[in-house]
Amino acid sequence: NAGVTQTPKFQVLKTGQSMTLQCAQDMNHNSMYWYRQDPGMGLRLIYYSASEGTTDKGEVPNGYNVSRLNKREFSLRLESAAPSQTSVYFCASSDQGSTEAFFGQGTRLTVV
């Protein structure tokens, strides 16, 4: 039972490069989320998708875009990476009407 799967696990980018972080869940959840985790700051919500076909900004959306490709997949795109986007990124999903989120293993991104 895979749960929430994120790829890649590690990535190094140069400033200005673009990349897409992939996320897929096999729990048939309606809602999906992207968080970033920085030391001493907990998890901050970047974007979320309450259901297939909808996306909304979270607390820190600047510099990011998302696509809810289908019910299973929710991708996060950095169009022009900046050093301030160095972080660990987590994708999560939850069932309809539930706040109990299940997390992937994370993508550790370094922007140099």
Partner 1 sequence: GQQLNQSPQSMFIQEGEDVSMNCTSSSIFNTWLWYKQEPGEGPVLLIALYKAGELTSNGRLTAQFGITRKDSFLNISASIPSDVGIYFCAGGLSNDYKLSFGAGTTVTVRA
| Separation CA 39–CA 86 (nearest Å) | 11
Least distance in Å: CB of 45 to partner 1? Answer: 6
Show contacts with partner 1 in window 69-88 (CB under 8 A): none
Nearer to partner 1, 73 or 95 (CB): 95
Tell whether residue 93 is a contact of partner 1 (CB under 8 A). no
Neighbour tally for 83: CB within 10 Å:
10
Strands 31-37 and 87-94: antiparallel
Tell whether residue 43 is a contact of partner 1 (CB under 8 A). yes
Tell whether residue 34 is a contact of partner 1 (CB under 8 A). no
Reduce the DSSP state of residue 30 to 3 states and report it. Answer: coil
